[in-house]
Amino acid sequence: LAKTTQPISMDSYEGQEVNITCSHNNIATNDYITWYQQFPSQGPRFIIQGYKTKVTNEVASLFIPADRKSSTLSLPRVSLSDTAVYYCLVGPTGGFKTIFGAGTRLFVKA
Amino acid sequence: EAQVTQNPRYLITVTGKKLTVTCSQNMNHEYMSWYRQDPGLGLRQIYYSMNVEVTDKGDVPEGYKVSRKEKRNFPLILESPSPNQTSLYFCASSWGQASYEQYFGPGTRLTVT
C-alpha cells in the first residue's frame, strides 16, 4: 500500500474554498485514491474517490495530476460544520488492507 | 436505513475478562473490517473479512479474534483484555473490497482497567 503524506492541520474561514493536498509518490498503477472525513468520536465517512484527472460530486472535487503522485481534495465554500479530520487513502482495486494516515485536521473559523 | 451497528457503544471492563463487541450490517456487504483509533496513532486495521468464513489479519491483530459465520455479522473478541487495548473501535463494511466505499459504525469506546 502506498504511503501518503498530508499536512497535519489547516485553518480556513467560512465561505472559502479549501484545498488539501496528499502526496503519494509510490502509487501503483492499479491504485485508487480515496478521501474520508471524520468528526470527533464518529466513524469516518466516505467523501470521494478517483483514479485520474478530476472527479466531482455534490460535496467535493478531487484533482489528480497526470503522474498521480499527488491528489488534491477541494471543498467549495466551507462552513463551520466542515471542521473535521480528512484522510487520504491509496490502495489497489481488489485489495483488502486499509491504511489510514495521520490525516489533516481542518478547522473552519467564523 | 443502510447502516452498520455496533454494541455496546461504551464499555468499561477489567483486565482478563473476556468480552465481545458485536458488529452488524444490513447492506449485504461482503467485506467487513475492524479498526482501532488511538490519539496520535490514527486508525489502524485489526482484522478484516472478505466473506463468510474468510478472515485475515490487519496491522494490529495481537490480542484480538474475529469470526464471520454470517454475512451480516463480524464480532470482535478480546479473550483476555489488557489496558493497552483501551481504545475507540470502529467496524466497517463495503461491497467487495477495501478500496470501495467503506461504511463505518458509530464506534465502541472500550476502557480496560
Cβ contact, residue pair A97, B59, below 8 Å: yes
Q: How confident is the model at residue B2 (pLDDT cuts 50, 70, 90)?
A: confident
Please provide the average confidence, as pLDDT, over all residues in chain A: 92
Cβ contact, residue pair B48, A97, below 8 Å: yes
B64 with B80: CB under 8 angstroms?
Answer: no
- On the question of pLDDT at B95 being above 90, the answer is no
- At which residue does the C-alpha cell 489547516 appear? A10
Please provide the average confidence, as pLDDT, over all residues in chain B: 94
B5 with B32: CB under 8 angstroms?
Answer: no
Cβ contact, residue pair B97, A100, below 8 Å: no
DSSP A21-84: EEE-TT--TTEEEEEEEE-TTS--EEEEEESSEEEE-SS-EEEE-TT-SEEEEEESS--GGG-E
- On the question of pLDDT at B56 being above 90, the answer is yes
Q: What is the DSSP pairing of strand A9-13 with strand A84-92? A: unpaired
- What is the C-alpha separation between B78 and B91, in angstroms, rounded? 15
Cβ contact, residue pair B92, A43, below 8 Å: yes
pLDDT score of A97? 80
Q: How confident is the model at residue A51 (pLDDT cuts 50, 70, 90)?
A: very high
In terms of CA atoms, which chain B residue is nearest residue A103?
B42
- What is the C-alpha separation between B97 and A62, in angstroms, rounded? 21
- What is the C-alpha separation between A87 and B37, in angstroms, rounded? 13
For residue A84, which of A20, A39, A46 has the smallest C-alpha distance? Answer: A39
Contact residues on chain B for A42, CB-CB shorter than 8 A: 104, 106-107
